[in-house]
Structures are given as structure tokens and as C-alpha cells.
Amino acid sequence: LVFTNKALTDSAMVKAIMTITEAKTAAIQDWGVESVRLYPFINEDIPEAITKERKTSATGTSTDGIILTINTNGDVLTDAGSFSLFGDTLAKAVYVGIQRALENAIGAE
């Protein structure tokens, strides 16, 4: 959940979602979170199929979601990419937030 006091153009909102996703994924991968997948996918029609567990680097979770709120009366921004001041700040905030959440979740185990 991301709140901002800025107004974003439609294209800036799309870019903000991309920036958030990239920062979230970087934080998860830097933490070393793994995803376990079964290959081939389970198929009840082929009972003799051999399934293998394979660990890959996680990029998110099945419950991921992004909510971005803007202030339509705020200063209008046309770019939210990571090379813009807003996008860079957004990416850093999301990265730190995900890292803290992982510390709380995984550190408590």
C-alpha cells in the first residue's frame, strides 16, 4: 500500500507500479527467499509422471498486491521511473519496507 501526496499521469501511475514491483522483487531476491515448484506440474491424467521439486529465486508471493493512492489535487508528476526523484524515493521506500517485513516474518521463525 503506497500513499503519495502527488498527482500522477496515467503513464506515471503505470511506471510507479513497475517501480514498486522491481523494488519488491529486488528486496525479496536480496533476502534470498526461495520458491519451491514441482516440475512437471502435477497432472492427474498421467499418474506415472515424475515430479521433481525445484527451488528458484522468489519474485513475489501468491498473495501479492499493490495499491497506489494519489492526490489528484497534488503536483502532477509525469515520471515515476527509478531514474526520477519520485521513482527513486518510491523504490527505496518499498525496498526498505519489504526488507523490514521479511525481517519480522522470517526473523520470527
Burial class (CB in 10 A: 0-12, 13-18, 19+), 33: middle
Beta-strand (E) ranges in 16-109? 34-39, 52-57, 68-69, 76-77
Distances (CA, A) of 85 to 75, 90, 92: 14, 8, 11
Does the structure show a pLDDT above 90 at 19? Answer: yes
Q: Over the stretch 53-107, which tens digit does the pLDDT of each residue have?
A: 778 788 887 778 899 999 999 999 999 999 999 999 999 999 999 999 989 987 7
Would you state the pLDDT for residue 7?
Answer: 98
Residue pair 83/15 in contact by the 8 Å Cβ criterion: no
